[in-house]
């Protein structure tokens, strides 16, 4: 575990340095174009300030913003004991210092994500659709994947890299648009106000360089970001298999998520996408063009890797299965693989065999969501259970089955 | 002369810093192992606390299963009163067995299986059994990390100097305990 965290930290730092260099270079070049040869330093400063401000904002309240944007509701043990228990089980397995906060998102698309800067402030959110479809073992697999993200500090990485990416995109957009409009207006000022007569040629070269940098920088940053984010998904899968000792749980959960017909998650955007267990954007031809710009590895590949782990649940085993399926070098850092580990798989939980419970389970999750949203539950003498929304006016309601009038309990 | 002195001082400072760093890492790993160990205790205690409720709920439905209840109660009081680790581990093994037997018997009582209260206790019990095995797993992981650190160079020198000793893994003593009691609810 520790080797993995260290390797992750090292990769993150390398990525950060590259992205920071790209950001500063872009600031410098753009500054030189906009404010003359001495403007390089000025542009560099502006770029730094933009980046610092965005980092501070996302650091102080990034997770709260994300949870609020996803319309997640915080739940306690009483609301959904199983979810809460499964999170606690994984907290114990991963030896997290504190229990992550648990959230439910009222959305039929099955998905889940984790957020928070460090293991002390982490949160896990799952959708109602996920709770309705998965059995206990599958839910455990999904939560283990999210807890692995927390343990590997992926959330910090996504936050920092996401902000840097955002800054690069922002600066490049502002510059390119500025160039576009100023050339539309036909301003000659830029060309005449260079450094004297001979500077014109150099100025134009500088301008071309700046435009090229401004176009290429965001693309490079995107590709880098997505490549690392895909790698982290594999690592979180490996971690989940290791925590639960049961790769099949996550595999069959991913299968259910992939085969789900409900529309894509309502509240989601491109920057937060890497945090979800499966890509929240639904695309038809996932395996083709989208590969380079996808935040997640193809789900079918993730499933076959997990299903190929027949000998054990260690990182080593995952690494072997990965090489077998993708014919690529290992995703797991060498240090974590070489450690001698002999981790046996475990058996499926008893619940896994029952498949006829799905409708019942969906109804239960629906009730839970209503309870969270302050619906009033009313049982009639004829056995019918009525669910009354919080905005219901009046204090009498007629039972639709036996026509008896009932008092709505005071809210 | 002066330069030589500075170099010696610098080398010394680096060594001191490295020793401090390794020492702190060892302490951190040991504390993590201790913490994981206490997690096992917490979950075992939770299992003990759940049992009276479980029996209370089931009693009304299962009038002819006195033997099962007695076995559980007896194993529980033995486990709670156990003085040393070996006894405790043995008693917990018996308790686990008794509980899984009880869960098998429950299959014959569909009314009980439909009881809301019982269902939630069932979930708690499953989760507690899981937590016990995950706590064990995590303890063994931590011990592995700690032992590796103690045996590897250069931290083995510091571990030897400050008296850090290898920890034992949590091995299960009773054969029945080796399999975490499979609580079957189907």
- Please indicate, yes or no, whether residues A353 and A401 belong to a single structural domain of this protein: no
> Is A85 an interface residue toward B (CB < 8 Å)?
yes
A251 and A146, same structural domain?
yes
Q: Are residues A32 and A166 in the same domain?
A: yes
Q: Look at residue A103 in the predicted model and tell me its pLDDT.
A: 93
A349 touches chain B (CB under 8 A): yes
What is this model's ipTM?
Answer: 0.77
Whether A285 and chain B come into contact, CB under 8 Å, resolves to no
Which residues 26-55 of chain B have a CB within 8 Å of chain A?
32, 35-36, 39, 43
Same structural domain, A256 and A385: no
Binning pLDDT at 50, 70 and 90, where does residue A333 land?
Answer: low
Catalytic, out of A138, A146, A233, A248: A146
Residue A366 within any structural domain of the chain: no
Split at pLDDT 50, 70, 90, the class of A79 is: confident
| A332 contact partners, CB below 8 Å, separation of at least 6 | A4, A235, A238, A315, A316, A318, A319, A322
**A14-20: average pLDDT:** 81
Q: A335 with A388, same domain? A: no
The full set of domains in chain B, from first to last, is 32-178 (1.20.1440.20)
Which residue's entry shows tokens 């002390």?
A120
DSSP state of A275: G
Q: Is residue A343 part of a domain?
A: yes
Q: Note whether A147 and A267 are same-domain residues.
A: yes
Q: Pick from A89, A94, A243: which is nearest to B127 by CB?
A: A89
- pLDDT in the model for residue A146: 93
Domain count, chain A: 2
Looking at the domain assignment, is residue A253 inside a domain? Answer: yes
User: Do residues A387 and A304 both lie within one domain?
Assistant: no
**pLDDT at position A194:** 42
Q: Within an 8 Å CB–CB cutoff, is residue B184 touching chain A?
A: yes
Give chain A's mean pLDDT: 77
Are A10 and A127 in a shared domain? yes
Residue A400 structural domain: 374-407
pLDDT digits (tens, 9 = 90+) for A117-168: 788 888 999 999 899 888 889 999 999 999 998 888 887 777 777 778 878 8
In this structure, the answer to whether residues A254 and A378 fall within a common structural domain is no
**Assigned domain for A367 exists:** no
Check whether B18 has a pLDDT greater than 60: yes
pLDDT at A334: 56
Do residue A131 and residue A234 come from a single domain? yes
- Strand-pairing partners, residue A379, are A385
Higher pLDDT, B178 or A170: A170
The yes-or-no verdict on residue A188 having pLDDT over 50 is no
User: Looking at residue A286, what is its pLDDT?
Assistant: 45
Query: Residues A36, A59: one domain?
Result: yes
Q: How does residue A359 score in pLDDT terms, banded at 50, 70 and 90?
A: low
Backbone angles phi, psi at A282, to 5 degrees: -90, 125
Q: Which of A42, A271, A236 is nearest to A164 (CA)?
A: A271
Cα dihedral A114, A120, A121, A127 in deg (nearest 10): 30
A146 assigned to active site: yes
Q: Cβ contacts (< 8 Å) between B186 and chain A: which residues?
A: 350-351, 353-354
| Long-range contacts (CB closer than 8 Å, 24 or more residues apart) made by A34-39 | A34/A175, A34/A178, A36/A193, A36/A194, A36/A195, A37/A195
Please tell me the predicted confidence (pLDDT) of residue B10: 94
Q: Judge whether residue A288 has pLDDT over 50.
A: no
Sign of CA dihedral A337, A341, A342, A345: negative
Rounded Cα–Cα distance for residues B152 and B164 (Å)? 13
């Amino acid at each position: 575990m520790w080797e993995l965290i260290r390797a992750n930290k090292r990769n993150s730092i390398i990525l950060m340095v590259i992205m920071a260099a790209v950001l500063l270079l872009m600031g410098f070049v753009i500054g030189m174009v906009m404010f003359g040869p001495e403007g390089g330093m000025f542009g560099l400063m502006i770029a730094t300030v933009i980046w610092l401000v965005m980092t501070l904002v996302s650091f102080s309240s990034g997770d709260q913003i994300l949870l609020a944007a996803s319309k997640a509701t915080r739940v306690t043990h009483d609301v959904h004991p199983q979810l809460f228990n499964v999170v606690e089980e994984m907290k114990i397995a991963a030896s997290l210092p504190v229990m992550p906060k648990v959230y439910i998102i009222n959305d039929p698309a099955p998905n889940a994500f984790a957020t928070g800067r460090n293991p002390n402030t982490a949160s896990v959110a799952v959708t109602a659709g996920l709770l309705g479809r998965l059995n206990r073992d599958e839910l455990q697999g999904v939560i283990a994947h999210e807890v692995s993200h927390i343990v590997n500090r992926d959330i910090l990485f996504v936050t920092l890299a996401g902000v840097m990416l955002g800054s690069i995109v922002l600066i490049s957009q502002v510059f390119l648009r500025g160039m576009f409009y100023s050339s539309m207006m036909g301003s000659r000022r830029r060309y005449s106000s260079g450094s004297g007569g001979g500077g014109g040629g150099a100025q134009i070269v500088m301008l071309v360089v700046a435009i090229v940098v401004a176009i290429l920088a965001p693309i490079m940053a995107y590709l880098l970001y997505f490549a690392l984010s895909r790698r982290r998904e594999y690592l979180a899968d490996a971690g989940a298999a290791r925590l639960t000792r049961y790769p099949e749980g996550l595999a069959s959960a991913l299968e259910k998520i992939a085969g789900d017909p409900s529309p894509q998650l309502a509240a989601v955007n491109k920057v937060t996408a890497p945090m979800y267990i499966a890509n929240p954007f639904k695309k038809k031809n996932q395996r083709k063009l989208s590969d380079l710009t996808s935040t997640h590895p193809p789900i079918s590949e993730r499933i076959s890797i997990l299903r190929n782990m027949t000998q054990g649940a260690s990182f080593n085993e995952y690494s072997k299965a990965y090489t077998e399926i993708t014919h690529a070098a290992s995703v797991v850092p060498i240090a974590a693989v070489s450690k001698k580990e002999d981790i046996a798989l475990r058996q499926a939980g008893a619940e896994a065999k029952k498949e006829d419970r799905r409708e019942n389970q969906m109804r239960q999750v629906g009730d839970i969501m209503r309870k969270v949203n302050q619906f009033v539950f009313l049982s009639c003498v004829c056995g019918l259970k009525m669910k009354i929304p919080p905005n219901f006016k009046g204090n009498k309601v007629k039972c639709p089955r036996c026509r008896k009038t009932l008092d709505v309990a005071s809210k | 002369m002066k330069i030589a002195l500075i170099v010696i001082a610098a080398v010394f400072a680096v060594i001191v810093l490295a020793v401090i760093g390794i020492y702190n890492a060892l302490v951190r790993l040991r504390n993590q192992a201790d913490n994981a160990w206490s997690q096992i205790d917490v979950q075992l205690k939770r299992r003990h606390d759940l049992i009276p409720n479980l029996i209370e709920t089931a009693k009304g439905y299962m009038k002819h299963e006195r033997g099962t209840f007695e076995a559980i109660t007896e194993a529980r009081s033995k486990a709670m009163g156990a003085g040393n680790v070996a006894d405790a581990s043995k008693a917990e093994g018996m308790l686990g067995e008794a509980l899984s037997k009880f869960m098998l018997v429950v299959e014959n009582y569909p009314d009980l299986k439909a009881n809301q209260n019982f269902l939630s206790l069932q979930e708690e019990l499953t989760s507690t059994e899981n937590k016990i095995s995950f706590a064990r797993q995590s303890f063994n992981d931590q011990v592995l990390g700690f032992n590796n650190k103690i045996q590897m160079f250069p931290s083995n020198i510091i571990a030897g100097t400050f008296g850090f000793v290898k920890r034992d893994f949590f091995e299960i003593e009773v054969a029945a305990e080796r399999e975490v009691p499979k609580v079957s609810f189907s």
